[in-house]
Chains A and B, each alone.
Chain A
Amino acid sequence: MILIEGLVKSYGEHQAVDGVDLSIEKGEIFALLGPNGAGKTTIVEILEGYRVADGGKVLVLGEDPAAKGRAGAALRGRIGIVLQDSSDSQDLTVLETLQHFATYYSAPRNVDELISLVNLEEKSQAKIRTLSGGQRRRLDVALGIIGQPEILFLDEPTTGFDPRARRDFWDLILALKNNGTTILLTTHYLDEAEALADRVGVIVAGKILEISTPATLGGRMKALTTVSWQSLDGQIESVESDKPTEIIRELIKKFDGEIPALSITRPSLEEIYLKMIGEK
C-alpha cells in the first residue's frame, strides 16, 4: 500500500528525513513514533502529496503522491487525510460541511451514517465554531473517511482528548481497520500506539531506529520483568527477573492460596521508547 525507499528531505541545512525505508501492508495500522522535529510529519506530508521528496522512491497505492493534475486528484480520491490542526469552515454546520465534501468523491459514504459513526448526531446542525476540541477532531476524521479511503493518514489525532473520548476514538479507528482500511498514524501517546498499532516505527533525527510490533520493540519481550507482592509482614516487595515464572512458583509455595497485591509487569512501551530515544 505504501512503499518508501531511501527517502531524503531537507529544509535548507536541516536534514529532516535522512534515508528512510518503510513498507506498510494492506489492512494494517502502522504508528510512527518519535520526538518533535524527528521528521514524522515530513514523511507523512510527503506521502500525502503536500511536500516533494528530495530523493528516494515513494509509492502510495502504486502511485507517485507528488503527481500533479488529474493523476494527483485521482490518488487523493483513494486516500483520506486528517491533518494536525485545522480551524476552518467555522461558520458552516457539521452537516453542510460533510454534504459538501461528499461531492468531491466518486463513492462517498452516506452522510447520516457517517455522522452517527463519529458520534456527532446531536451536533449535526451546529456551527463548527461551537464544537469542542474532541468533536472538532471527530469531524476531521469524518472528513478524512468520507470518500471511503483505502489508506487513512492520521497525524496526532487525539491530542487534547479526555480519556473517555480517546477510548471512543480508538474504537472508531479499530472499526475502520476491520473494514480493511490501512492506517498510518503518528502519535505522541505510547498507550495509543500500543492499543492500535500492528507495527510501530521509531524515528529520531530523520532516521528509523527500529520497526517492530509494540510487544517486541526495543527488546521488550526479553527485558527484565518486575514481580511485586505484599510480604507476610505487610511490606511491598519487588524483584526484577528474566525468569518471572520461577519467582511465581516460589511465591505459590510460600503463600497458601492468593498472593496478596501480586503484579507482574513488563516495561511499558513508553519506558522502552524513552530509553531508545534517550540513547540517541
Chain B
Amino acid sequence: MLRTLTIGWARGILEIKQFNRAREAVVFTIAFPVILLFIFGSVFNNEIAPSVTFSQYFVAGMIASGLVNSGFQNLAITIPMERDSGALKRLRGTPMPIEAFFIGKGIQVLYSMGLQVLLLLGFGTLFFGLELPSDPSKWLTFAWLLILGSISATILGIAFSSIPKSGRGASALVSPIVIILQFFSGVFFVFTSLPGWMQQFAAIFPLKWLTQGMRSVFLPESFASQEVAGSYELGRIALILIIWTVLGTFFAIKTFKWSRI
C-alpha cells in the first residue's frame, strides 16, 4: 500500500514534468479557457439578472469546464497517445502497481486543474466582476465540487481512453464532444435560455451539474430562483457526479488496454 502510494507520487511528479515540457498541451489545456474567458467576457457583459452579469455566469461555467478539460479531455487524448508510443506497454512490463499509474494521472490532473482554476479566478475577479464568496460554506461547496469533479473527470477520461482507435484520432473524437457538451450545458449561454431538448440532453452528463454547482459558489443566493429547479440542487449534483464516477470506474476496469493488439 505504502509502496503503491510512493510510486504513485513519483509518477505524479514525472507526469507533471512531462506535462510542463509539452508546450502545446500546456497552451491547449491552460491558456485556451482563459482566452475564451476574455472573448466571451468582453462580448457578453450584459446583466442576466439583478446584479449578475453574463461574464460572472460564464466564469463559473468555465471553471466547471476546466475540470472537464484538464481531467476528461486531457486523459482521453493523452492516454491513447501513450498507448501508441509504447509507454503503457513498457509500464505494464514492470512491477509498477497499476494503481500507481492512475494515482499519478490523478496528481497531474489536480496540478493542471489547480493552475487553470487559479488563472480563471484571477482574471475573472480582476477583469470580469467575479466576486469571491465570503461565506465559508460556499468555499466548502467549492472544495467538494473540485474534489468530486476532478475525480469523476479523471476516471471518465481514463474510461473514455479505450474508445479512440489511435492517439492521432483521439483529439478529433474527444474535443468536439467536450465543445458540444459545453454549449449544451450552459457554459457559453445561459442554460435556461437553451431549447428544452438541449437542456434535457445536457442533464444526463456531469458538466451541466458541475456548472450549476459552480454558480452556487460564485453567484448570489438570489440567482438560485433562476435555475431550472428554482434552486442549485447541491444534493442532486453530488449524486449525479458519484453515479458517473462509479459507472466510469466500472467501465475503465473492464476496458482499459495497455497496448494496441
Q: A residues touching B (Cβ–Cβ < 8 Å)?
A: 48-51, 73-74, 76-77, 81, 83, 85-92, 96, 100-101, 103-105, 143, 147
B234 lies within 8 A of chain A by Cβ? no
Residue contact A73 to B95, C-beta cutoff 8 Å: yes
Cβ B82 vs Cβ A101 within 8 A: no
Residues of A close to B258: CB separation below 8 A: 50
Cβ–Cβ contact A147 & B82, under 8 A: no
CB distance from A223 to the nearest CB of B (A): 40
Does residue B85 face the partner (Cβ distance < 8 Å to A)? yes
Chain A nearest CB from B88 CB (Å) reads 8
Known A-B contacts A50-B259, A83-B86, A85-B86; A147 and B10 likewise in contact (beta carbons under 8 Å): no
Q: Is the CB of A103 within 8 A of B6?
A: yes
Of the A-B pairs whose beta carbons lie under 8 Å apart in the complex, a sample of 24, sorted by A's number, is A50-B258, A73-B96, A73-B97, A76-B94, A81-B90, A81-B94, A83-B86, A83-B89, A85-B86, A86-B85, A88-B82, A88-B85, A88-B90, A89-B18, A91-B17, A91-B18, A91-B21, A92-B14, A96-B17, A100-B11, A103-B7, A104-B94, A104-B96, A147-B94
Query: Which among A51, A77, A89, A103 is the interface contact of B87 at CB below 8 angstroms?
Result: A89
Q: Which residues of A contact B261 (CB under 8 A)?
A: 51
- B93 interface contact, C-beta 8 A: yes
Alpha-carbon distance A256/B6, docked complex (angstroms): 77
Does B86 contact A88, Cβ atoms closer than 8 Å?
Answer: yes
- Tell me whether A76 and B85 are in contact in the complex, defined as CB-CB below 8 angstroms, given that A92-B14, A92-B18 are known contacts: no
* Residues in A neighbouring B85, C-beta threshold 8 A: 86-88, 90
Chain A contacts for B21, CB-based, 8 A:
91-92
Q: Are B93 and A96 in contact (CB under 8 A)?
A: no
Question: Quick check: A100 and B18 within 8 Å, CB to CB?
Answer: no
The main secondary structure of chain B at its interface with chain A is: helix
Distance (whole angstroms) from the CB of A231 to the closest CB of chain B: 57
Is B14 in contact with A48, judged by CB distance below 8 angstroms? Answer: no
CA A104 – CA B95 in complex, angstroms?
6
Give the CA-CA distance A77 to B261 in the complex, in Å.
Answer: 23
How near does chain B come to A131, taking the closest CB pair, in angstroms?
14
Known A83-B90, A91-B22; contact A96-B95, beta-carbon cutoff 8 A: no
State which of A50, A74, A90, A103 has its C-beta within 8 Å of the C-beta of B93: A50
Which of B14, B17, B259 has the most C-beta atoms of chain A within 10 angstroms of its own C-beta?
Answer: B14
- Chain B positions 3 through 25: 1 when the CB is less than 8 Å from some CB of chain A, otherwise 0: 00011001100100110011000
Q: What B residues does A81 contact at CB under 8 A?
A: 90, 93-94
Residues of chain B lying within 8 A (CB to CB) of residue A105: 94-95
- Whether A104 touches B7, Cβ cut-off 8 Å, given contacts A88-B85, A88-B86, is yes
Across-interface contacts of A48 in B (CB, < 8 A)? 93
Sample of 20 further A-B pairs with CB below 8 A, known A77-B95, A92-B21, A105-B94: A49-B93, A50-B92, A50-B93, A74-B95, A76-B95, A83-B93, A85-B86, A86-B86, A86-B89, A88-B86, A89-B18, A90-B85, A92-B14, A92-B18, A96-B17, A103-B6, A103-B7, A104-B94, A104-B96, A105-B95
